[in-house]
Amino acid sequence: MRLLDSILEYNEQFVETKEYEKYQTTKLPDKRMVIVTCMDTRLIELLPKAMNVKNGDVKIIKVAGGIVAHPFGSVMRSILVAVYELNANEVCIIGHHDCGMSNINSDGLLNKIKDRGVTQERIDTLTYSGLNLKKWFEGFTSVEESVRHSVELIDNHPLLPADVPVHGLVIDPKTGKLDVVVKGY
Ligand SMILES: [Zn+2]
């Protein structure tokens, strides 16, 4: 059975047996925090457990590397919506050790794109139109530095209220241990 089909088959039973009942909550976060973290598979359950966060407690925005790359991109927009529309009043950036975005090789990634059938011509067209793909795919060398950079970008954002603290942490994907990089209070 293909993956989506097996997911849908499971889902039918999930709903039928009312498995959802134990997850019912509201869209407003009880702990009033919005977290930006990485899409890493090891953090799916570990991160909330390690922080004592359960369904309904916080907003979690997931993006490769937990990086807030642009002051007017979709991650920053999500943070502002969480603050102004959904009652969050603290922001927390959480990077992690052994991240797929650390030391990413942009050239290697672009080669993989070409190997999968995207033509050099198409890449050139994007480059000529002003997009720096190499930079776009660039990750980070130090997770602490990356977290600090995202914290600063959010903290200095012209649309973020001054009384919203922005924290920066690094989590160990093996043990769940949190280390503080920036305490926003
Ligand atoms: Zn990661």
Q: What is the pLDDT along the chain (185 residues), one digit of tens a residue?
A: 999 999 999 999 999 999 999 999 999 999 999 999 999 999 999 999 999 999 999 999 999 999 999 999 999 999 999 999 999 999 999 999 999 999 889 999 999 999 999 999 999 999 999 899 998 998 899 999 999 999 999 999 999 999 999 999 999 999 999 999 999 99
113: CA distance to ligand 1 center in Å?
Answer: 20
63: CA distance to ligand 1 center in Å?
Answer: 8
Measuring CA to CA, how many Å separate 63 from each of 13, 130, 151, 161, 185?
A: 30, 24, 15, 23, 25
| Domain topology for 25-104+139-182 | Beta-carbonic Anhydrase; Chain A (3.40.1050)
For residue 24, give the 3-state DSSP assignment: coil
pTM: 0.93
Could you tell me which of 181, 178, 179 has the C-alpha nearest to residue 166?
Answer: 181
88: CA distance to ligand 1 center in Å?
Answer: 24
36: CA distance to ligand 1 center in Å?
Answer: 11
69: CA distance to ligand 1 center in Å?
Answer: 14
